[in-house]
């Protein structure tokens, strides 16, 4: 913007039709700007889990049929969560999404949860579960939704949120361990 102001003052007038100005306008008015919730349209949720984080987004289709993000959310996995099998991490991501977007989803029209983990379509109907999964399934029963598979290459929003580099767990180098000696726990991540 400072460069634009300088250019405008040098030219002695407005430069509102310059390519640079048009690019700025376009960048400020197109996605990834968050959309305002439209209660007349149904929601859909995308979620994903990685080895160290989970991510999700609440979305709606606009009047042209494009996906618009209403809300982004992600978090690091807690140390205990990192020990979960892949199926459980993906279910945790779904539970996190539904809990985070509860105010929008609970009592709304039916919605779809998209995941890149195909087995989740049947996991929420499974009879053989752990106590943890049984609690999560009880939580899911409050919502009116269906789970649909979306291949990872198409589930880019949730995938990117679950793989944020600042969430990645870094292990100390042997030199760092040697310098700290017994002060560091054996397993940081």
- When mean pLDDT is compared across 41-55, 97-111, 137-151, 164-178, the lowest value belongs to 164-178
Instruction: Identify any residues that bridge with 69 across adjacent strands, giving them in sequence order.
Output: 59
- From CA 67, how far away is CA 157, in angstroms rounded? 11
pTM for this entry: 0.72
Average pLDDT in the 165-173 region?
A: 69
Beta-strand pair 145-149/67-76: unpaired
pLDDT the model gives residue 117: 85
What average pLDDT does this structure show over 177-182?
Answer: 54
Name every residue whose Cβ is closer than 8 Å to that of residue 161 and which is 6 or more positions away in sequence: 48, 53, 55, 56, 57, 72, 73, 74
**pLDDT per residue as tens digits for the range 66-98:** 899 999 999 999 999 999 999 999 999 999 999
Among 54, 159, 160, which residue's Cα sits nearest to residue 97? Answer: 54
99 vs 174: which has the higher pLDDT: 99
- What is the percent of the chain with per-residue pLDDT over 70, rounded to a whole number? 75
Judge whether residue 184 has pLDDT over 50.
Answer: no
Q: What is the pLDDT of residue 165?
A: 82
| Burial tier of 18 (Cβ tally within 10 Å: 0-12, 13-18, 19+) | middle
Distance CA 112, CA 119 (A): 15
Continuous segment of H or E residues that includes residue 68: strand 67-76
Q: Is the pLDDT of residue 151 over 70?
A: yes
- Which of the two residues, 117 and 1, has the higher pLDDT score? 117
Residue 50 and residue 163 in contact, taking contact as beta carbons nearer than 8 Å: yes
For the chain, the structural domain boundaries read: 1-30, 43-174
For residue 63, which phi and psi values (nearest 5 degrees)?
-65, -15
What CATH number is given for 43-174 in this structure? 3.30.420.10
- Higher per-residue confidence, 41 vs 119: 41
- Which tokens hold the place of 8? 């405008």
Q: What is the DSSP letter of 83?
A: G
* Average of per-residue pLDDT values in the chain: 81
In degrees, rounded to 5, the angle at the alpha carbon of residue 158 between the alpha carbons of residues 54 and 98 is: 65
- Stretch 36-45: mean pLDDT: 92
Residue 27 has pLDDT above 80, yes or no: no
């Amino acid at each position: 913007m400072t460069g634009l102001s300088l250019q405008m003052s040098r030219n002695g007038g407005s430069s509102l039709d310059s390519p640079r100005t048009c690019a700025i306008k376009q960048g400020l008015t197109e996605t990834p700007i968050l959309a305002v919730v439209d209660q007349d349209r149904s929601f859909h949720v995308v979620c994903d889990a990685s080895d160290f984080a989970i991510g999700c987004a609440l979305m709606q289709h606009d009047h042209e049929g494009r996906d618009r993000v209403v809300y982004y959310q992600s978090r690091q996995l807690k140390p205990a969560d990192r020990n979960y099998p892949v199926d459980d991490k993906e279910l945790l991501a779904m539970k996190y999404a539904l809990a985070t977007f509860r105010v929008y989803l609970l009592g709304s029209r039916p919605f779809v949860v998209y995941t890149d983990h195909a087995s989740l379509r049947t996991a929420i109907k499974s009879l053989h579960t752990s106590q943890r999964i049984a609690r999560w399934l009880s939580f899911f029963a409050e919502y009116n939704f269906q789970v649909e598979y979306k291949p990872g290459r198409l589930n880019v929003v949730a995938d990117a949120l679950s793989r944020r580099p600042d969430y990645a767990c870094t292990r100390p180098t042997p030199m760092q361990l040697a310098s700290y000696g017994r002060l560091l726990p054996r397993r940081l991540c």
